[in-house]
A and B are shown apart, each in its own frame.
Chain A
Amino acid sequence: MTKPVPKQALSSASSSTAAKPRLTTSAMIASIASEGQRTQAAPFGTALVELAKTRPDIIGMTADLGKYTDLHLFGQAYPDRYYQMGMAEQLLFGAASGLAAEGFVPFATTYAVFATRRAYDFIHQTIAEEDRNVKIVCALPGLTSGYGPSHQAAEDLALMRAMPNMTVIDPCDACEIGQVVPAMAAHQGPVYMRLLRGQVPLVLDEYHYTFELGKAKVIRGGRDVLFISTGLMTMRALEAAKQLENDKIDVAVLHVPTIKPLDTETILREAQKTGRMVVVAENHTIVGGLGEAVARHLMLNGVAATFRHIGLPDAFLAAGALPTLHDRYGISTQALVDQIKKWQD
């Protein structure tokens, strides 16, 4: 289930006399919004432009990905506060540290893979170790690109939460991103935010949601299953919960946007409620993310809940269309529904 179609399988199919299998999807489908879903355009760029009106210390920096991180909106609104650093992520974060040392608050953007994997030491040494007030905002977190491992940051949360001083945020939707931007600017110290860009789903406004840095929030109650989810998986968990009502499975969703520092108090309180299966769902490898963090705290505190974990496999993931990949790796809404029904059988 976790492996792409082997090369030999493809070649034997094409060389045989049998009809070619029909190609069903395109790798260019890169939106996480489902058909007909409400969306909002460029919530990060829009929120930053608004915030910067009253915060002249905020500057924007990017490594040749302004357009693809929605930071171009900031660049258009404040051209003299916008620094193009070229396709050079190490320079991007080192220079952001220098600007922060001079009292500015840089929002530095690139893709999650390039920040966390290529520039890790620069973030570690010039930003985190020196506790510089740099906001790292990264598109294509987890599995939100069909380009294969070069663009899939399946391990970004693990890398960033292992770094002392770093605050790590994985917002769910456009509603939340709009609130995270001023909150991370108000926070003194380095922050890593996973960015959803372009047409971003709008979900949490229906639940009258308010983001608070470091707080997990119960989005809906339920007696049978407790989803503990982060990022776009909260959206998926909410969709799954609605569908599971038809199967008389009552599902609660606890949204954990701040991965570090973790709101262990709320997590423990909710996980301790008896009779519920605890299911951590994250758009991230099962190694080193929210699932392991929650499990650790449950163990340390003697909470013996039935524990399940939905995340990406510890493997190099395939290229392809996101809907296909999310189904294949078990993080689509339908995959969640099917999995919960199986576990609840």
Chain B
Amino acid sequence: MSNLKGHNRDLAERAYRVRRNAVLMGEVQGQGYIAQALDIADVLTVAYFHAMNYRPEDPEWEGRDRFLLSNGHYAIALYAALIEAGIIPADELESYGSDDSRLPMSGMASYTPGMEMSGGSLGVGMSIAVGMALGLKRKHSSSRVYILFSDGELDEGAVWEAFMSAAHYKLDNLIAIVDVNNQQADGPSTQVMAFEPLVQKLEAFGWFVQRIDGNDLDAVVGAFDAAKDSHEAKPRIIIADTLMGKGVPFLEAREKNHFIRVDPHEWQLALAALEEGRQS
């Protein structure tokens, strides 16, 4: 990461803190979707600290860009970013997943500031995104809809209904990010249901497609910029290949890391590993 330029070096520090927030939340419950939070932290960092317009003090500001979390179990990652963005107070972090917390384990719109939809029923987010993008166009708004979803959700037919309609309606204000970490509940996503070649499929569906290393901050910044700057009358999608557990080597190395349990002493090791990555 030492070759990152100024702004992106700031982003690297943000990404470190997003990961740290996620690990601290994971420690509250002793388990969870930590590996996903670590893999997607770079994408969320670029979304919240480079690409999107929003007002931390007014999460429902009409002029904001909308960020939809379709894969609700990634809530731990989004909370980590929302805390870093100042939308959720940092002291709520320790309530993650607890009774009466505003930070439930699966993201829900009515619970959390900055949470635009209730995810968890995988595959519903893309349809909502299409509706929001249509709505923003009706209002002649310059705001965009960003939606994060997971490679496992590609198994859901309704996602492809939404892909078709987004192209049909030329939703150039829609930027989707699919996290290809190749891990879902029953195993590697490509083995659970083959979805490649994804670039060709999405291009054939009429999308503006980029495929990047989702843990390379320079590449992520470039992809968000290109998605925003393109003049093509197409919805945009960033296929982000990511590494589960990114930044914590002993979690990266785990084979089954969709939902992980971490021993109490390992949380300190995880934080230390993040700190080490930050220094290097």
Binding site for B on A (CB under 8 A): 59, 83, 85-86, 88, 90-91, 93-104, 106, 121-122, 124-126, 129-131
Contacts and interface: CB of A to CB of B under 8 A. Distances in A.
Q: Which of A97, A98, A102 has the most CB of B within 10 A?
A: A98
A166 to B, nearest CB: 15
5 closest Cβ pairs, A-B complex: A98-B131, A94-B127, A102-B135, A95-B131, A98-B132
B124 A99 contact: no
B164 A98 contact: no
Nearest to A95: B131
Given A90-B124, A98-B129, A99-B135, 12 more contacts: A85-B165, A88-B161, A94-B126, A94-B162, A95-B130, A95-B165, A101-B128, A103-B135, A106-B131, A124-B121, A125-B124, A130-B118
A125 B127 contact: no
A101 B165 contact: no
Contacts of A104: 135, 138
B158 interface: yes
A90 B120 CA distance: 16
Contact of B162 (A59, A91, A101): A91
A97 B131 CA distance: 7
B103 to A, nearest CB: 17
A37 B193 CA distance: 56
B197 to A, nearest CB: 24
Contact of B165 (A88, A103, A124, A130): A88
Interface stretch (B40-48, B75-83, B109-117, B209-217): B109-117
Contacts of B118: 125-126, 129-130
23 contacts: A88-B161, A94-B125, A94-B127, A94-B131, A95-B128, A95-B162, A95-B165, A97-B128, A98-B132, A98-B134, A99-B131, A99-B134, A101-B117, A101-B132, A102-B132, A103-B135, A103-B139, A121-B124, A125-B120, A126-B118, A126-B127, A126-B128, A129-B118
Contacts of B132: 98-99, 101-102
Given A98-B131, A98-B135, A91 B121 contact: no
A85 B166 CA distance: 10
B130 to A, nearest CB: 5
Given A93-B127, A122-B124, A130-B109, A101 B135 contact: yes
A61 to B, nearest CB: 9
Contacts of A85: 165
Nearest to A94: B127
Contacts of A97: 127-128, 131
A180 B118 CA distance: 30
B18 interface: no
Contacts of A126: 117-118, 124, 127-128
A106 B132 CA distance: 12
A85 B157 CA distance: 15
A93 B117 CA distance: 14
| A contact patch SS | helix
B238 interface: no
Nearest to B129: A98
A130 B161 contact: no
Nearest to A134: B131
A148 B69 CA distance: 39
A85 B118 CA distance: 22
Contacts of B270: none
Nearest to B123: A90
Nearest to A125: B121
Contacts of A93: 127
Interface in B117-174: 117-118, 120-121, 124-136, 138-139, 157-158, 161-162, 164-165, 168
Contacts of B130: 91, 94-95, 98
Contacts of A121: 121, 124
Contacts of B131: 94-102, 106
Interface string B73-103: 0000000000000000000000000000000
A98 B127 contact: yes
B106 to A, nearest CB: 11
B33 to A, nearest CB: 19
Given A88-B158, A95-B130, A101 B116 contact: yes
Contacts of B157: 90
Given A86-B164, A91-B165, A125-B118, A98 B138 contact: no
B164 A130 contact: no
Pick the most buried of A83, A86, A99, A124: most chain B CB atoms within 10 A of its CB: A99
A130 B117 contact: yes
A83 B134 contact: yes
A139 B146 CA distance: 34
B141 to A, nearest CB: 8
A233 B149 CA distance: 46
A122 B162 CA distance: 13
A86 B108 CA distance: 28
A94 B134 contact: no
B158 A90 contact: yes
A279 B134 CA distance: 47
A122 B134 contact: no
B135 A91 contact: no
A99 B138 CA distance: 9
Nearest to A83: B134
A305 B202 CA distance: 63
**Of residues B117, B125, B129, which shows the largest number of chain A Cβ atoms within 10 Å of its Cβ?**
B117
Given A93-B127, A98-B130, A122 B158 contact: yes
A96 B164 CA distance: 16
A96 B110 CA distance: 18
A94 B139 contact: no
